[in-house]
């Protein structure tokens, strides 16, 4: 950085060195650091101004194990007297000051710079940090250039003369009509949410798929799940609750499948009986087989007919990927099973529910099958921890039985057009996973999704939630007894747990907290598996609110015209002021919150009274492009373009305006917004447009794609989505009529 100058043999700069300043970089490294303790520096006046630990300067994280604090001092600076300390990141526990004498920085040299920084914890454990110091001489001109570049980073580009990123640093003290932030009570504006709104009160596992045939068990208790869907055309794959796994050799003879040792691409084969077969790569744990065109899963590539049920209701990349999959042949018949693996209380069902919601929103037919729900229906909700022991043959047989039943239900659903099945159970042994792979042979591709959590606080919290919400403990009056029983159940699983090492897998290690962690993938390829990995990397359970609201009433709203880029009306201006007061009150303690708008001026003007928060413009948040119909009223479209009017009326989801967009197009361009909303750990206020907010709301509420064009998103109303460990909850505020 700038013109450098070398140190002398004593580590100090010579008096004869050229004029300039010293750029000092203090670094600490600990490869075992969890991230819960943040290094700080405190010391004498020239450095930080106080030995008060509350005023210590936080070091910035440079990498997973390295922390840095950099500053500029003159070459003849006074002796800097300081120490390192550690502050807990998420608690008010006392700071931990390094042991040993104070450190001295003299003329750019750190005395005893090789000395380790030692921190003694309450449990007598000692943390060791390596300490480094790097000093460069920087010319005044380089400093000036660096400062100019720094300032230019805060000078955003603009759209229609309005900055695309901005922040008002001065707080807003009041508004018109006597509305002050301190006077507003958000609860006064609460209105009932629609009956189909987000609901996370129900235990998540109970919201998963129900058995496709009646399940009656002698152990069923009074609080078992009811309303089981029983289709009359379900293929018979078991009798009663006895699961029959066909012998592979018998299946091959009966269906015309023959084993092949050749390793080639999709190839036709003429068999003796005149039937035409195909070589199919059957994926994890499967040999290459020749599959007849008359088998249960179709191999015909006629996209107009046979693929009708398997094509997702989607546009853009999702549709392109689906077409490519169909054209490439019947590899694994294009059905995917995501099989969860992990100990209880590790967030498997939470992860499965979020992934199900995401894939459905993208347009993939996805269902969530929870084996625990099947077990409770068959064997009741009063099973003790002994039922889950590995040395209990009756319990093992019963659990394998319901697992096979749930898996066969998932396969049957796939035969009817389903694309992605998420199979939610512990699946914690190789024997269980091998059983599932045999059931999947030639029927679907398998990806294991393993969740590993080593944070005892998160595990304890999850166990408490389980006792409070799970039907397994609904009849347990003693909370502590329920806790002990579940911990005994957990211990039984831990004794036989075998991490995933086979086949295609995604392994999430300490990812659930959103603070660090790692994700491992093995043998993962293709569009959809890639999207799944990308989603899982960015999702977490840190609680935070997301506020969705339309812009204030625009001039085109008054005229009844669609599209356009008009300013807000007087009513819209009033809403902007009320919104600013509401957000200031609701998020007054959330200074890390941000405001997202589209690039259209009606959203930017609505956000203009909001101060103290960064404002970011997203072109992806622009209203649906009405194309040739932009600026018209619906009556004008009906009169001048009757064919377009009728086409839109018949299918609002897929209808695309001439040279414009459809709702499916909007969903595709909103995927980066969804990923970023999932990644955010601070509150976000999204000010956008009706079609866009319908699509965003549908994601959080897990609403079917076909309902998106009809979701009610009124003007001057705030929809608060609360995301966290307990799921998703909704609250609505109507600030104006």
pLDDT of residue 115: 80
pLDDT of residue 151: 59
Question: Strand 505-509 relative to strand 518-522: parallel, antiparallel, unpaired?
Answer: antiparallel
Supply the CATH classification number for the domain 21-153: 2.60.40.10
> Catalytic: which of 424, 661, 671, 678?
424
**Rounded CA gap, 534 and 668, in Å?**
15
Bridge partners, 166 (sequence order): 615
In sequence order, the 6+-apart residues with CB closer than 8 A to the CB of 15 are none
Bridge partners, 252 (sequence order): none
What is the per-residue pLDDT across 695-733, written as a single tens digit (0 to 9) for each? 999 999 999 999 999 999 999 999 999 887 767 889 999
551 is catalytic: yes
Percent of the chain whose pLDDT exceeds 70: 71
Question: Strand 727-734 relative to strand 190-191: parallel, antiparallel, unpaired?
Answer: antiparallel
463-500 as b/e: b if 16+ CB within 10 A? bebbbebbbbbbebeeeeebbebbbebbebbeeeeeeb
Burial of 137 (0-12, 13-18, 19+ CB in 10 A): buried
Q: Which residue has the higher pLDDT, 476 or 717?
A: 717
> Catalytic: which of 136, 408, 453, 678?
453
Structure tokens at 302: 């006629």
- 155: confidence class by pLDDT, cuts 50, 70, 90: low
- 204-538 belongs to CATH 2.60.40.10: no
CB 284 within 8 A of CB 437: yes
| Residue-level length of the chain | 737
pLDDT of residue 50: 73
Kindly list the domain boundaries of the chain, sorted by start residue.
21-153, 158-191+542-734, 204-538
623 is catalytic: yes
In this predicted structure, the answer to whether residue 630 has a pLDDT above a threshold of 70 is yes
Weakest-pLDDT range from 118-127, 360-369, 474-483: 118-127
What is the per-residue pLDDT across 277-320, written as a single tens digit (0 to 9) for each? 333 333 333 333 333 333 333 333 333 334 444 555 655 555 55
Which of 520, 500, 450, 498 minimizes the C-alpha distance to 284?
500
Roughly how many angstroms between the first and final C-alpha of the chain, as a whole number? 58
pLDDT of residue 168: 56
Three-state secondary-structure class, residue 445: strand
In this predicted structure, the answer to whether residue 252 has a pLDDT above a threshold of 70 is no
Residue 727 backbone zone (phi > 0: left; psi -120 to 50: alpha; other: beta): left
Considering the chain, what is the average pLDDT of its residues?
Answer: 78
In this predicted structure, the answer to whether residue 248 has a pLDDT above a threshold of 50 is no
What backbone torsions phi and psi does residue 500 show, to the nearest 5 degrees?
A: -70, 130
Tell me how far the alpha carbon of residue 376 is from its chain's centroid: 29
622 is catalytic: no
**Rounded CA gap, 362 and 538, in Å?**
16
| DSSP code of residue 192 | P
**Rounded CA gap, 2 and 651, in Å?**
63
453 is catalytic: yes
pLDDT of residue 624: 97
Weakest-pLDDT range from 20-24, 155-159, 272-276, 470-474: 272-276
CB 711 within 8 A of CB 698: yes
pLDDT of residue 164: 58
Structure tokens at 72: 């500029």
> Catalytic: which of 623, 665, 678, 730?
623
Tell me how far the alpha carbon of residue 218 is from its chain's centroid: 40
Name the CATH architecture for the domain at 158-191+542-734: 3-Layer(aba) Sandwich (3.40)
What backbone torsions phi and psi does residue 527 show, to the nearest 5 degrees?
A: -65, -55
In this predicted structure, the answer to whether residue 467 has a pLDDT above a threshold of 60 is yes
pLDDT of residue 710: 96
- 17: confidence class by pLDDT, cuts 50, 70, 90: very low
What is the per-residue pLDDT across 382-423, written as a single tens digit (0 to 9) for each? 889 999 999 999 999 999 999 999 999 999 999 999 999 999
- Largest pairwise CA distance in the chain: 96
Weakest-pLDDT range from 15-29, 130-144, 157-171: 157-171
In this predicted structure, the answer to whether residue 634 has a pLDDT above a threshold of 90 is yes
CB 168 within 8 A of CB 160: no
* C-alpha Rg value of the chain to the nearest Å: 31
Weakest-pLDDT range from 473-477, 483-487, 503-507: 473-477
Residue located via tokens 């294991």: 448
Q: Do 158-191+542-734 and 204-538 come out as alike in CATH topology?
A: yes
Which of 540, 545, 544, 546 minimizes the C-alpha distance to 515?
540
Segment holding 730, helix H or strand E? strand 727-734
In this predicted structure, the answer to whether residue 364 has a pLDDT above a threshold of 80 is yes
> Catalytic: which of 40, 551, 689, 716?
551
In this predicted structure, the answer to whether residue 223 has a pLDDT above a threshold of 50 is no
Which of 189, 262, 356 minimizes the C-alpha distance to 733?
189
401-420 as b/e: b if 16+ CB within 10 A? bbbbbbbbbbbbbbbeebbb
Q: Which residue has the higher pLDDT, 258 or 400?
A: 400
């Amino acid at each position: 950085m700038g013109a450098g100058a070398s140190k002398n043999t004593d580590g100090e700069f010579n008096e004869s060195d050229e004029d300039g300043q010293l750029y000092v970089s203090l670094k600490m490294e600990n490869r075992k650091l969890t991230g819960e303790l943040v290094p700080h520096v405190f010391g004498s006046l020239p450095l930080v101004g106080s030995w008060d630990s509350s005023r210590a300067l936080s070091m910035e994280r440079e990498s997973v194990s390295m922390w840095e604090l950099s500053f500029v001092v003159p070459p003849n600076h006074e002796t800097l007297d300081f120490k390192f300390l550690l502050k807990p990141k998420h608690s008010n526990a006392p700071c931990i000051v390094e042991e040993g004498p104070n450190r001295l920085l003299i003329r750019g040299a750190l005395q005893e710079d090789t000395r380790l920084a030692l921190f003694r914890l309450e449990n007598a454990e000692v943390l060791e940090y390596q300490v480094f110091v790097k000093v460069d001489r920087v010319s005044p001109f380089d400093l000036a250039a660096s400062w100019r570049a720094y300032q230019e980073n805060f000078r955003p580009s603009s759209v229609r003369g309005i900055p695309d990123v901005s922040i008002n640093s001065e707080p807003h003290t009041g508004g018109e009509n006597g509305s002050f932030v301190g006077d507003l009570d958000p609860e006064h504006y609460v209105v009932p949410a629609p009956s189909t709104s987000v609901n996370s009160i129900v235990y998540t596992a109970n919201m998963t798929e129900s058995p496709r045939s009646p399940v009656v068990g002698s152990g069923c208790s009074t609080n078992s799940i009811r309303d089981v869907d029983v289709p009359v055309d379900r293929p018979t794959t078991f009798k009663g609750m006895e699961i029959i796994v066909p012998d592979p050799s018998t299946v091959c003879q009966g269906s015309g499948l023959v084993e092949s040792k050749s390793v080639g691409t999709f190839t036709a084969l003429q068999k003796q009986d005149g039937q035409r077969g195909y070589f199919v790569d059957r994926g994890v744990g499967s040999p290459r087989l020749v599959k007849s065109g008359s088998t249960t899963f179709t191999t015909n590539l006629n996209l107009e007919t046979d693929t009708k049920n398997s094509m997702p209701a989607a546009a853009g990349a999702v549709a392109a990927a689906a077409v490519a999959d169909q054209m490439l042949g019947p590899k694994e018949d294009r059905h995917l099973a995501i099989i969860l693996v992990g100990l209880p209380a590790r967030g498997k069902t939470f992860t499965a529910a979020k992934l199900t919601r995401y894939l459905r929103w993208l347009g993939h037919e996805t269902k969530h099958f929870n084996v625990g729900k099947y077990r409770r229906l068959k064997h009741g909700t009063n099973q003790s921890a002994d039922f889950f022991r590995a040395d209990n043959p009756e319990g093992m047989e019963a659990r394998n039985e319901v697992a096979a039943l749930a898996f066969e239900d998932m396969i049957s659903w796939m035969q009817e057009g389903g694309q992605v099945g998420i199979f939610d159970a512990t699946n914690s042994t190789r024997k269980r996973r091998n059983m599932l792979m045999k059931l999947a042979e030639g029927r679907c591709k398998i990806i294991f999704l393993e969740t590993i959590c080593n944070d005892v606080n998160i595990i304890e919290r999850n166990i408490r939630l389980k006792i409070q919400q799970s039907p397994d403990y609904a009849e347990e009056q003693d909370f502590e007894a329920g806790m002990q029983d579940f911990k005994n159940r957990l211990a039984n699983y831990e004794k036989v747990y075998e991490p995933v090492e086979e086949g295609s897998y995604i392994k999430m290690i300490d990812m659930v907290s959103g603070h660090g962690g790692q994700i491992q993938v093995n043998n993962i390829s293709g569009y959809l598996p890639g999207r799944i990995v990308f989603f899982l990397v960015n999702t977490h359970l840190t609680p935070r609110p997301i506020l969705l609201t339309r812009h204030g009433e625009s001039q085109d709203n008054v005229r009844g015209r669609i599209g356009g880029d008009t300013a807000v009306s007087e009513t819209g201006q009033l809403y902007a002021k009320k919104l600013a007061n509401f957000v200031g009150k609701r998020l007054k303690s959330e200074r890390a919150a941000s405001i997202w708008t589209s690039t259209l001026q009606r959203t930017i003007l609505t956000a203009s009274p909001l101060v103290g928060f960064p404002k970011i413009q997203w072109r992806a948040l622009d209203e649906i492009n009405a194309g040739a119909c932009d600026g018209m009223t619906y009556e004008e479209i009906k009169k001048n373009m009757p064919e377009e009017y009728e086409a839109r009326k018949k299918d609002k989801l897929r209808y695309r305006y001439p040279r414009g967009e459809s709702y499916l197009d909007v969903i595709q361009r909103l995927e980066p917004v969804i990923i970023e909303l999932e990644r955010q750990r601070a509150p976000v206020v999204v000010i956008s447009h009706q079609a866009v907010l319908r699509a965003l709301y549908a994601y959080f509420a897990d609403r079917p794609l076909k309902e998106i064009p009809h979701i009610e998103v009124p003007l001057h109303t705030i929809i608060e989505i609360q995301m966290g460990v307990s799921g998703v909850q909704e609250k609505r505020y109507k600030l104006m009529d």
